[in-house]
Amino acid sequence: MIDIRKWILAVICPPAAILDREVGTIMLVGLLTALFWVPGVVAALFLLIQQQIQRRQPQV
């Protein structure tokens, strides 16, 4: 299920949207956001989409 709060956070403050990930991932998105806002948003949205795809795949 889509968590609309995470999607909104990914646009407003990308590192806050992926706080459930590893520290290195959060730092990378934070760095991308600090350099220029758009790459941070793209990275956060990519990670959220990847997380949704993994949730939908059946566990084998």
C-beta contacts of 49-57 below 8 A and 24+ residues apart: 52/2
Query: Residue 52: which domain range?
Result: 4-56
The whole-model pTM stands at 0.85
Q: Quick one: pLDDT band at residue 16, thresholds 50, 70, 90?
A: very high
Whether the per-residue pLDDT at 58 is higher than 90: the answer is no
CB burial of residue 39 (10 Å; 0-12, 13-18, 19+): middle
**pLDDT per residue as tens digits for the range 24-47:** 999 999 999 999 999 999 999 999
Q: Domain total for the chain?
A: 1
Q: Please give the pLDDT value at position 1.
A: 56
Give me the percent of the chain exceeding a pLDDT of 90.
Answer: 70
